[in-house]
Structure 1
């Protein structure tokens, strides 16, 4: 039986570099995972191609192919937004969260392609997405409530302030590790299955183990994209609601 590191080495047919790309800014060194960066770029390209295919030559009377899928996603996410906030306010948020959903879905599922992995299996990617949600909460809260948005830190009593701050800071943390943990765990499980295959690991670049876990991985990938998007909508909805 092969170890997790040995499986990763055997499946590295693309020659992913093991060292990080370092960027020195003043006295700070930023380290980037080249594999995550490249796969993120590939995911963004796939999202662009999908959206172009869905919107090019649109026919409102007879939608077909990718247009049908795009319209179903749009209507589904719009329903979630309208359920959580005023539709007029949600109109500004809708393009952002539909982009969230499509990108995260593609990022989760690209890891099912033999020899590739999901960008969302790297907590740096999920933290970046969660940080965007965290910033959106304050942007929408201040935009529609002004400085009065910060009154919720003093409710119901001023000594609840530390608890409210911790609650707000916990939002990006939980978003980060919920998505990362589920996607990374799925990839580790596939690697374990491959390790049990031993000498058969090279067969179709790990295709056998991927197919064994394929159905459940697709389900998890879709559910996690939905949960991240739903929670982002709910958090922004709380920020703009009158009861917040």
Structure 2
């Protein structure tokens, strides 16, 4: 795997590849939504409008499967944003890798800010350091956990504001001494929600890197095996990317429904 292009400002470290691809994912999602709704037509809808309508209906179905749609309707925009942003983010790292090889510490900078990972590698005696400037944002634990944290904060905010009696009461069910277990359960949801997404997408990109390195082995046979492996794995990775976007979104809706649940809903 390539090193990340990290710069440090004060005590904070910033992954430039992650920042770049998050911005690109956001732009793509915004552009798709804008183009799909630019020329709305009932009689002659375009292909993009039909696709967006299908996505909306799909997310409405996800919400309806987890809670009463009257309660879940306000979260339609959230569901659409999550599933589209995560899907696009999952796909970004598949078609190409943009590695740069650095051998000179003086060249390892970004607008005057030194790339700390490169300098650390070169100072440790490495002849060169390869930096990857392109990846799936969801293949980074910080990004995946950030998305999970947004859902986590929203879920608990809704529980405290909209449904305080049930929210605080469920920590002590079925018995009051279950409080520590119920508390741990909440944080385990946060961890598994983000790490499931990160683990699947990161593993896919690791395998792509391995397949690319195979092209240098066994003369021509390595290149052939690498190409065939990439074709098969790219197709499977698209499937995994779709599934992970679906799983993350439906779990978000499940957690929201649990925060809005009342004793009368049982």
Structure 1 length as normaliser, TM-score?
0.84
Structure 2 CA distance for aligned equivalents of residues 242 and 148 of structure 1: 6
Q: Does 1:222 align with 2:204?
A: no
2:148 counterpart residue number: 130
SS at match of 1:198: coil
Quote the Cα distance in structure 1 between the aligned partners of 2:93 and 2:5. Answer: 21
Kept in 2, the 8 Å contact 1:107–1:119? The answer is: yes
CA contact (8 A) 1:114 1:207 kept: no
- The answer on whether the counterparts of 2:62 and 2:253 sit within 8 Å (CA) in structure 1 is yes
Tell me which of the two structures has the higher relative contact order, counting C-alpha pairs closer than 8 angstroms and 6 or more residues apart: 1
- Which sections of structure 1, spanning at least 5 residues, go unmatched? 10-17
2:74 counterpart residue number: 92
Contact 1:22/1:30 (8 A) holds in 2 = yes
Structure ID, larger Rg: 2
Give the conservation status (yes or no) of the 8 Å contact 1:112–1:210: no
> Who is 2:121 aligned against?
none
Q: Distance in 2 between matches of 1:51 and 1:174?
A: 29
1:186 alignment partner in structure 2: 204
Question: How many residues are aligned here?
Answer: 223
Residue among 30, 41, 45 paired with 2:23: 41
- For 1:225 and 1:76, how far apart are their aligned partners in 2? 12
Structure 2 runs not aligned, ≥5 long: 98-133
Calculate the aligned-residue CA RMSD, in Å.
Answer: 2.2
Report whether the alignment pairs 1:64 with 2:50. no
Question: In the TM superposition, what is the alpha-carbon distance from 1:144 to its structure 2 partner?
Answer: 2.3
Structure-2-length-normalised TM-score: 0.78
Name the structure 2 match of 1:198: 216
Deviation at 1:107, TM superposition (A): 0.1
Of Structure 1 and Structure 2, which has the larger fraction of its residues in helix? 1
